[in-house]
Structure 1
Amino acid sequence: MDHSSSSTPRHRTVETTDGAMLAVQEGGPADGPPLLLLSGQANSHDWWTGIRDHFEGRFHTITFDYRGTGASRAVESPGWSTTLFADDAVQVLESVGADYAHVYGTSMGGRVAQMLAINHPAAVEQLVLACTTPGGTLAVERDNNVRRALAQKDSHARIAALLDLMYTPAWYAPGRRSHLLGDPDMSARAQLLHLKVSGSHDAVDRLCEIRSQTLILHGSDDRMAPVVNAHNLGDAIREGRVDITAGGRHGFFDEFADAVSAQVIQFLDHGL
């Protein structure tokens, strides 16, 4: 499937209780089972371009731009956290008339999804966590070589390094574009705040509270979030199953979207 295009979503704006204005996007049948898709760090809903097409034949897909990304508007605050972003997600679901939803969170979105399932259990039906970590003492972080590659001052070298962390060499083709490389319109402060949101996440002591059946997906060759994190999540979540995509890197859910999305749909339909 070509992931360079996607169906046109329906747009709305949601005002949160603290005055943030969140841009929300919906796709698929409005009366279909709601499916909340949570993006990675420093990315807007564009993260799901092409991927959401796999689900919109049957599911009512819901995305939103995190504070600091896309068309959302919010005061840039050090109080941003995965807990706050999970609270935002609940208000988004309420705005579209969904009392609960299936939730598919990737990378930082998987951390937000954990807090959503912990703090708002009634809002989460089935849970999918992909290429993410539990934070805290159970998290196994990227190594210093990865950190140095992502901190390069030369933007072309930095993007090349990020692409290599996201995709295998087989992904590359003339004109192919990734939607996983960050929101280019974010302010520098918002980018730093997102880094803090992701880095300060710690659900370790509360993962046992997750009651939703949980499918935990990861690429075997992920250097951004090493694959051991998937197994740590699987050990800590009561009804969790871990499935590893051989050879997959951090963007495995995009590179191998046909197979991974089919796996997600199978889980949403039939459970573990």
Structure 2
Amino acid sequence: MATCFSFTATRDRCNHLYFSAAGLRSVTVNLSGDTTVRCWVPSRPSPAKPKLLLIHGFGANATWQWTPHIRPLLRAGFDLYVPDLLFFGGSFTSLPARSDSFQAETLMSFMESIGVERFGLVGVSYGGFVGYRMAAMYPEAVERLVLCCTGVCLEERDLEEGLFVVRDVNEAASILLPQTPDRLRRLVSLSFVKPPPAIPSWFLADYIHVMCTDYLQEKTELIHELIKHRRVSDLPKINQPTLIVWGEQDQIFPLELGYRLKRHLGENSQLVIIKEAGHAVNLEKAREFYKHIIAFMLDSSSKSKSKSKATMWHRISSSFRSLSLKNFAPNHPLLSGEKTAKDDSLNPFAS
């Protein structure tokens, strides 16, 4: 029997091979029997390397959103952890919870299960909602974070007031979870400043069949839970250093939300606006995006190492200052204060 070729399924397999060739391996951990998390982890983790957790957004799964960044981040010296969020890729739960807080709790449980206690974090779009919650709930674990086009400061009333291109949650879900080629074209046009000029309907239908049909109801519930009764006044303030990255022409989460987040976090944050980029800035301007990640995260590592070295040197020098040469040779005449004939002969000012 002849089988139909699927470009999307083939691309998905190629992404997996790429991750494996880069030195990552896929692990699946069952948490408490109700929840399963799949994550790409280092094949040979190094205690000396900084740990970096990469959290994808609503598009496809972890490998589709992070493939352009894996090798540059590995070359920069990070140990990478790249999970599928619940109901994406290989992660699933039978529990009814749908909040970003539950996603955050699940990822933290996974990181603890593999022995990673402290890490930096990068979250894209919905992944940034989850990352923000992780930073708020586990400040001792999340050292600093990058939030890319993450509308955590949106309010439910923004839909009615016209901040977004959609007017209600159901319309948002129909675009973020496209089920027809026309809906997927709409999503692409909203995500990229320069979308592909012509995408065949057969390709879009293939992508939808492979990537957009599993857990459709659960993903719809994630969107509703994310927006329902949301107010900035209820958003906890995090204290970790935070880099906010935004595409200047983002139509999914307008730049206004980036300014709101910067005001909410204050001096602990910095906002970088990438020109000629939309919501999919991590893909549209991948090189610029990962350069900002590396500079921000390694700046932290460098300061931490410098502080550690300075602290060590301070302790050593303090220890030496607390000692005098008399401690080493208390009976030596030159240190005891006693004069000898040789002393005077070598001192031209002796009388």
TM-score by length of 1: 0.84
Q: Is the 8 A contact 2:37 2:86 kept in 1?
A: yes
* 1:163 corresponding residue in structure 2: 188
Moved more, 115-124 or 139-148: 139-148
* 2:299 corresponding residue in structure 1: 270
Q: Matched residues in 2 for 1:136 and 1:96: separation?
A: 34
* 1:215 corresponding residue in structure 2: 243
Instruction: Name stretches of at least 5 consecutive residues in structure 2 with no aligned partner.
Output: 1-13, 304-351
1:16 pairs with 2:31: yes
* 2:318 corresponding residue in structure 1: none
Deviation, 1:172, is 6.3
* 1:62 corresponding residue in structure 2: 81
* 2:61 corresponding residue in structure 1: 44
Match of 2:93 among 54, 74, 82: 74
Q: Is the 8 A contact 1:30 1:60 kept in 2?
A: yes
Structure showing the higher helix proportion among its residues? 2
Q: Is the 8 A contact 1:64 1:92 kept in 2?
A: no
Q: Matched residues in 1 for 2:54 and 2:156: separation?
A: 24
Counterpart of 2:288 in structure 1: which amino acid?
A
* 2:322 corresponding residue in structure 1: none
1:1-272 to structure 2, matched below 5 A, reads 5=15, 6-8=18-20, 9-17=24-32, 19-27=34-42, 30-31=45-46, 32-41=49-58, 43-46=60-63, 47-57=65-75, 58-75=77-94, 77=96, 79-135=97-153, 137=155, 140=158, 141-144=163-166, 147=171, 150=175, 155-169=180-194, 183-200=211-228, 202=230, 204-205=232-233, 209-238=237-266, 239-271=268-300
Counterpart of 1:231 in structure 2: which amino acid?
Y
User: RCO (CA 8 Å, sep 6+): is it higher in 1 or 2?
Assistant: 1
Deviation, 1:131, is 0.6
* Structure number with larger C-alpha Rg: 2
Q: Matched residues in 1 for 2:109 and 2:41: separation?
A: 14
Q: Matched residues in 1 for 2:92 and 2:299: separation?
A: 38
Deviation, 1:71, is 1.4
Question: SS where residue 224 of structure 2 aligns?
Answer: helix
* 2:307 corresponding residue in structure 1: none
Percent identity over the alignment is 21
Question: SS where residue 81 of structure 2 aligns?
Answer: strand
CA-to-aligned-CA distance 1:96-145 (integer Å, 9 cap, x gap): 32111100001011111111111111111111000111245498552238
| Residue 203 to residue 88, structure 1, CA distance change in 2 (3 Å) | farther
Question: SS where residue 37 of structure 1 aligns?
Answer: strand
TM-score by length of 2: 0.67
Q: Matched residues in 2 for 1:109 and 1:263: separation?
A: 18
